[in-house]
Amino acid sequence: QLPTGLYKKVLVILHDSVLPYMNEPTLMMDFLTVAYGIGGAISLLALNGLFILIHQHNLEYPDFYKKLYSLLDPSIYHVKYRARFFHLTDLFLSSSHLPAYLVAAFIKRLSRLALTAPPESLLMIIPFICNLFRRHPACKVLVHRPNGPGDMSEDPYIMEEKEPSESRALESSLWEIQSLQNHYHPDVAKAAAVLNQSLSEIEDDISGLLELSASELFDKEVKKKSTDVPLEFEQVRGLFGKKNDIFAEHFSLD
């Protein structure tokens, strides 16, 4: 048992400062799998080391995707290690051999959590979801359901289900992204509207969006050139300022 602070310090540097210099990196399997099972930020940081062991040293982790799915909670869009997590999640979901139910569960859960995410995270996660649709066309039923979401009395997706195969994600629709098309931030609404059209075959490059911050979004808006907006001014009359207002006959603004 290690203190949480020490766990984080070790896991941050393990994948590039320790594993490459070990004669047998597989000796770290137990340590990383235990860290991955702890939850929270420690699990996120353990992903880097596990990625190396899985791809380069043939580590088999039967419940890997189930655990990765369980890491998706509302805090995932706010944590310090958000960019690292989504970069690795993108790699883990890049295989075209993954079953459609699994990818659909990730798409649906990310979309549901996006309803309470900040704009800087939404501008990253919407292209992320679009890329998943490009890799796994079978999941497009979430967007192009023949009868549309209007025929559903309720969403069949089970958010609380920990097993992706039992979440009924493929039976659902992506109404969450449709809701984001009315988002207060115009860039988010524009990004979400992409799903109304047929997606191009070329994936979006999300590398520049992973570390997008709220201050960068604010600076971008401040630097925009303002345009003159034509306004129609009407002299206020009466108490409520409406034409033919009955109050105008009895009250004045002198």
Residue boundaries of the structural domains of the chain = 98-224
pTM value is 0.76
pLDDT at 227: 73
What's the pLDDT at 109?
93
Residue 203's pLDDT is 85
pLDDT of residue 193: 92
Q: Which of 143, 55, 132 is nearest to 98 (CA)?
A: 132
Query: Which token pair is 21?
Result: 């210099």
pLDDT given at position 45: 83
Q: Tell me the mean pLDDT per 10 residues along the chain, length 254.
A: 82 85 86 83 83 81 84 86 86 85 93 92 92 90 68 81 90 90 91 88 84 85 76 64 67 66
| pLDDT recorded at residue 234 | 65
Q: What's residue 244's pLDDT?
A: 67
For residue 110, the model assigns a pLDDT of 93
